């Protein structure tokens, strides 16, 4: 009997907690063997981030993405990938057929990787960079306080 090592997850920044971390790690682990399962988990992770971190109030993912894009809070290079994550996730969740061949369109490995790349950009924007800024601000405020100066707001 042969045993193969489990697929490795991409590194998840320590600032990213559950449920985002759990969904992302699972999406990474299955990406090679099942791009479809990876895309479905990636879509789930995206929707949770948009609801919890971006504060979107719309019910479905399309409208959540549109709401966030309209807010202009994200850099363009990130917002342009959000609908791709949704569409690729839809290929995973719904049997869409090609109008050319009639074959069910499946999620390709490169598409699953694209989803993971887009999620990593969101992790950096919503988790990592704010934590870095907060740490820097706290360090500067300590220095200002020690100097008898007013702290930054």
More confident residue, 4 or 137: 137
User: Which domains are seen in the chain, by residue range?
Assistant: 20-126 (1.20.120)
Residue 65 has what pLDDT? 97
Residue range 98-108, pLDDT digits in tens: 777 877 778 99
Contacts of 83 (CB under 8 A, 6+ apart): 62, 65
- In which residue are the tokens 């790690």 written? 25
Structure tokens at 80: 């342009």
pLDDT at residue 3 greater than cutoff 80: no
Distance from C-alpha of 124 to C-alpha of 42, rounded to nearest angstrom: 16
What was the pLDDT predicted at 130?
97
Q: Which residue has the tokens 């807010």?
A: 71
Task: Retrieve residue 21's tokens.
Answer: 């971390």
* Euclidean distance between CA atoms 105 and 33, whole angstroms: 17
Per-residue pLDDT averaged across 12-41, rounded?
A: 95
* 5 has a pLDDT exceeding 60: no
pLDDT of residue 8: 67
CB 49 within 8 A of CB 70: no
Q: What is the residue-averaged pLDDT of the chain?
A: 91
Q: How many Å apart are CA 147 and CA 125, to the nearest integer?
A: 32
Check residue 62 and give its pLDDT: 96
Higher pLDDT, 17 or 105: 17
Specify the range with the lowest mean pLDDT, choosing from 18-32, 75-89, 97-111.
97-111
DSSP letter at 90 equals H
What backbone torsions phi and psi does residue 11 show, to the nearest 5 degrees? -65, 135
Half-sphere exposure of 118 (CA within 13 A, CB side): 31
């Amino acid at each position: 009997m042969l045993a193969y090592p489990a697929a490795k997850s991409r590194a998840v920044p320590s600032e990213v907690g559950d449920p985002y971390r759990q969904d992302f790690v699972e999406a990474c682990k299955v990406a090679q063997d099942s791009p479809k399962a990876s895309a479905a988990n990636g879509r789930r992770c995206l929707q949770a981030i948009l609801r919890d971190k971006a504060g979107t109030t719309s019910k479905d993912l399309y409208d959540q993405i549109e709401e966030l894009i309209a807010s202009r809070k994200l850099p363009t290079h990130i917002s342009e990938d959000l609908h791709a994550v949704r569409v690729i996730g839809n290929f995973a969740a719904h049997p869409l057929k090609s109008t050319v061949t009639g074959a069910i369109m499946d999620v390709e490995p490169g598409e699953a990787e694209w989803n993971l790349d887009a999620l990593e950009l969101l992790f950096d924007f919503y988790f990592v960079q704010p934590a870095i800024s907060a740490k820097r601000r706290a360090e500067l405020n300590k220095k200002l306080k020690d100097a008898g100066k007013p702290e930054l707001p």
